[in-house]
């Protein structure tokens, strides 16, 4: 199957920017996604990007896609304690979704 990799942990201070990285192996991915999971909850879609785009911005979120290197990143500006959660990247190939293992973001006050 396809391989989606993320680092497991990231710790930042409130007010700083957070950058969560993801690499994937499937060059035929059509869409790539970022989901957020808060404790005790399911996954909530944050944003997604079409594979022919390089960047997408949505308020405090910026997604960068380097298709050549198969690298996806999520930048959260002005990180708040409420952003503490697990962040999953995912890719879609045809109608199958492949998820990374999740990056746990800890925001220190």
Q: Which residues bind other proteins (CB under 8 A)?
A: 1, 31, 33, 35, 40-45, 48, 50, 88, 90, 92, 94-102
Give least dist CB 65 to other proteins, A: 14
| CA contacts within 13 A on the Cβ side of 106 | 5
Residue 76 or 86 with smaller CB distance to other proteins: 86
Residue 40 or 109 with smaller CB distance to other proteins: 40
User: Phi and psi (nearest 5°) for 71?
Assistant: -125, 130
Residue 84 or 98 with smaller CB distance to other proteins: 98
Q: What are the beta bridge partners of residue 86?
A: 37, 104
Give least dist CB 33 to other proteins, A: 7
Compute the distance between CA of residue 40 and CA of residue 82 in angstroms, rounded to an integer: 15
Strand order, beta sheet including 4-6:
4-6, 18-24, 71-76, 61-66, 55-58
Residue 14 or 84 with smaller CB distance to other proteins: 84
């Amino acid at each position: 199957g396809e391989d989606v990799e993320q680092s497991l942990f990231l710790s930042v201070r409130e007010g700083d920017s957070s950058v969560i990285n993801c690499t994937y192996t499937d060059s035929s991915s059509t869409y790539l996604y970022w989901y957020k999971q808060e404790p005790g909850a399911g996954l909530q879609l944050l944003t997604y990007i079409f594979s022919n785009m390089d960047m997408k911005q949505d308020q405090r979120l910026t997604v960068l896609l380097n298709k050549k290197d198969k690298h996806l990143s999520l930048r959260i500006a002005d990180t708040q304690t409420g952003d503490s959660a697990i962040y999953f990247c995912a890719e879609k190939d045809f109608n199958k979704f492949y998820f990374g293992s999740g990056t746990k973001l800890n925001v220190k006050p």
